[in-house]
Structure 1
Amino acid sequence: MVSLQPVKRSKARIYIGKKVYRFKRFGEWMFDGKKYARNRSEEKFPYVFKKHRTPLLRQLKDVDMQLQYNKITNLSIAAKQLNKVVIQPGETFSYWRLLGNTSRRKGYVDGMILHYGKVTVGVGGGLCQLSNLLYWITLHTPLTVTERYRHSYDVFPDSNRSQPFGSGATCAYNYLDLQIKNETQTPFQLIIYVTDTHLNGEWRSTTPTTRTYEIYEKEHHFTRELWGGYVRHNTIYRKVYDAEGNEIDDEFITENHAITMYEPFLTYEGETN
C-alpha cells in the first residue's frame, strides 16, 4: 500500500530543482537517440480512431473565473502548436518539445496552476486540460504512452465525472512531459482545436482501426493517513476488442495515488472536476 503525505519545500529548493530538471530534459532531448515528431500534414487523415472534448469553463470553488477565461487563451495558443502534428512509425511525440516554454512573448497569460496541492497563478496556467485530453484519447489507440506523470494531489471533489479518477496527465515545463511513441506501421495525426465552449481532440490515421478500447478503474478507495489526511487510490485498466466486438485483451495501464485536498466522504454541490 502506497502512503503519501504533503511535502514542504523552500522556495529556493523548488527554484533550484526546476532549473536542474529542466537542464536534464534539454540534455535528454539532444542525446537520448529518439526521433521526435515535428512535422505536420495540412490535409486531415481520413480515419478517426478516437475523439473527445472537454468544457472550457468549469465552476470551481474559490477560484477566480477570470483565470478560467485566461485558460482559454492559453489553450488556444497551445492547440495551434500541436494541431495536425503527425507521428510517423518509430517517432515519439513530446508535449513540451513541441510547445516550448509558455512565455508572455508568445501570448500566454496568467492562468490557474496547481502547485503542491494549492491553487496558484502562473503564465500559461491551465494547460493540464490539454495534456489530460491528449492522454485520454491516446489510451483509445494503439499508440504507446512512454512517459506520463500522475497528479500528486486531488484538489477538487468529483461532480459529474465521466472518466475514471487518475485518467489524466499532469504537465510542467519541461520536466513533467507527456511522451507517446508510434510503434505501429502507420502514421497518426493529432487534431486539436478550441471552439467557443470546448477543447476538442482526436487521433486520426491513414488506415481504419481494427480495435476498440474501454478504459475502466479497479480498486478505487480512500485511506486515512496517520498525518490526518486522506489519500485516493485506484488502478486503470484497458479492455481491447476486435472488429467483431470480441474482447481480446485486458491490460493494466497505471496506478494512481493522490493526496485529497477535501473531505472525501462529504457531499459537494456546484463543483466540477
Structure 2
Amino acid sequence: MDREKVEKPIHRGDFRLLLGMKYYEYKRKLQWIKMKKVFATNMGADLKHQIFSHQTPLLRKLKDVDMQYQYNKIVNLKIASKQLNGIILKPGEVFSYWYLIGKTTKRKGYVDGMVLNNGGFGPGIGGGICQMSNLIYWMTIHTPLKIIERHRHGFDVFPDANRTQPFGSGATCFYPHGDLMIQNTTNVPYQLKITVGEHNLEGEWRSSEPLNIHYQIIEKNHLMRPEYWGGYTRHNELFRQVFDSKGTMIDEEFVVSNSAIMMYSPFIDENNEG
C-alpha cells in the first residue's frame, strides 16, 4: 500500500474561505440542476425484503463536548430523517443526501449541534446530522448500490473508545458541496428507511427482491504515522468480502483508502476519554 502523503494543514483567512465556499456552492447547485431528472425524490410503502440494517447510539459522551449538543443533535436528526425515510431508489436513479434534506436552518426547526471543522469542533445550526450520513454510507457498502460521491473529514478528532466500526467507515456531509450520492446500478428498486428511535439512530436498506449474497467489511494496512511537520496521521484501507448463500467467500473488493490528521495522541489511554 502506498501511503498517501498528508501535508501540514494550511490555515486560510476567513475571506478566502468564504469565497471558496461560494464557488463550490455554485458548482454544486449547477450539478443539481443538470442531474435533477435522475435524482430519487419519491417515497413509498415498505419494500418486501430487508437487505441490510444497522443502528448507532444517539448519545455518546465525548471529552470536552457539552452533552447539550448531543441532545440538540437528536432534534436535528428527527427533522432531517423525515426527508429521507421511505425514499425509493429506482434502477438508474441517484440518492443525494443534501438534495433531499436541503439547507439546515432555524426556520425549519434546526438547532445548534456539534460541527467538526478544520480539526476542531463547535456549535452550528443542524450540527450532528453527519451521524445519519455515516450510517447510510456504512449500510450502503453492504449492498450492491454504488457510491458515486463520499467524503470523510481530513481530521481524526476523537480516539477509538467504544468504536465498533473501522476507522474511515463513515461519510461526512457539509452543505451543499460535500454530498453523499448513491446510484442504483441494479435492475430492482431499493428503499432507504431511517428512524430516530429511543436510544439509537436506526436504518435499513430494503428491496423488492431478496439478495442471494452478503457482504462483510474488513480493514487492512492500518497505520498511525508521525509526519515530518510534527503531527501524526492515520491511514487504512477498507475491503468488502462477498459471500454466497452458503457462506462461502466468492470475492474480495477494494472499497476505499482513508487518510486523516490525528487531533489526539496515538498513545492516549482510551479508557480515560470522556
Please tell me the TM-score bracket, short chain as reference.
Answer: over 0.9
Q: Distance in 2 between matches of 1:135 and 1:261?
A: 23
Q: Distance in 2 between matches of 1:113 and 1:27?
A: 26
Within the candidate set 13, 19, 28, 2:16 is matched to 13
Q: Distance in 2 between matches of 1:221 and 1:178?
A: 26
Q: How far apart are 1:34 and its partner, in Å?
A: 5.8
Within the candidate set 235, 240, 259, 2:261 is matched to 259
Q: How far apart are 1:186 and its partner, in Å?
A: 0.4
What is residue 48 of structure 2 aligned with on the other side? 46
Q: Distance in 2 between matches of 1:68 and 1:160?
A: 17
Q: Distance in 1 between matches of 2:51 and 2:231?
A: 41
Q: 1:114-263 alignment to 2 at 5 Å? A: 114-263=116-265
Would you say the 8 A contact 1:59–1:270 is kept in 2?
Answer: no
What is residue 97 of structure 1 aligned with on the other side? 99
Q: Distance in 2 between matches of 1:148 and 1:123?
A: 22
Q: Distance in 2 between matches of 1:7 and 1:155?
A: 17
Would you say the 8 A contact 1:88–1:186 is kept in 2?
Answer: yes
What is residue 39 of structure 2 aligned with on the other side? 36
Count of residue pairs brought into register by the alignment: 271
Within the candidate set 58, 62, 65, 1:63 is matched to 65
Which stretch shifts more, 194-203 or 5-14? 5-14
Encode CA deviations 1:218-258: one digit per residue, 9 max, x unaligned. 00011101111100000000000111112111000000000
Within the candidate set 8, 22, 43, 2:25 is matched to 22
Would you say the 8 A contact 1:3–1:231 is kept in 2?
Answer: no
Would you say the 8 A contact 1:55–1:199 is kept in 2?
Answer: yes
Q: Distance in 2 between matches of 1:159 and 1:16?
A: 37
Q: How far apart are 1:266 and its partner, in Å?
A: 2.1
Residue identity opposite 1:11 in structure 2: D
Residues 177/141 of structure 1: CA separation in 2 closer, same or farther (3 Å cut)? same
Would you say the 8 A contact 1:70–1:109 is kept in 2?
Answer: yes
Which stretch shifts more, 89-98 or 4-13? 4-13
Q: How far apart are 1:131 and its partner, in Å?
A: 0.4
> Which structure 2 segments of 5+ residues have no match?
none
Q: Distance in 2 between matches of 1:23 and 1:169?
A: 22
Alignment TM-score, normalising by the size of structure 1? 0.97
Q: CA RMSD in A?
A: 1.1
Q: Distance in 2 between matches of 1:52 and 1:99?
A: 21
Q: Distance in 1 between matches of 2:152 and 2:245?
A: 31
Residue identity opposite 1:189 in structure 2: Q
Q: How far apart are 1:32 and its partner, in Å?
A: 4.3
Alignment TM-score, normalising by the size of structure 2? 0.96
Q: Distance in 2 between matches of 1:152 and 1:64?
A: 23
Which stretch shifts more, 24-33 or 164-173? 24-33
Would you say the 8 A contact 1:140–1:213 is kept in 2?
Answer: yes
What is residue 108 of structure 1 aligned with on the other side? 110
Q: How far apart are 1:267 and its partner, in Å?
A: 1.1
Work out the percentage of aligned pairs sharing the same amino acid.
Answer: 52
Q: How far apart are 1:7 and its partner, in Å?
A: 2.1
Encode CA deviations 1:22-70: one digit per residue, 9 max, x unaligned. 11100011124760100010x2111100100000011100001111100
Q: Distance in 2 between matches of 1:31 and 1:194?
A: 32
SS in 1 for 2:95: strand
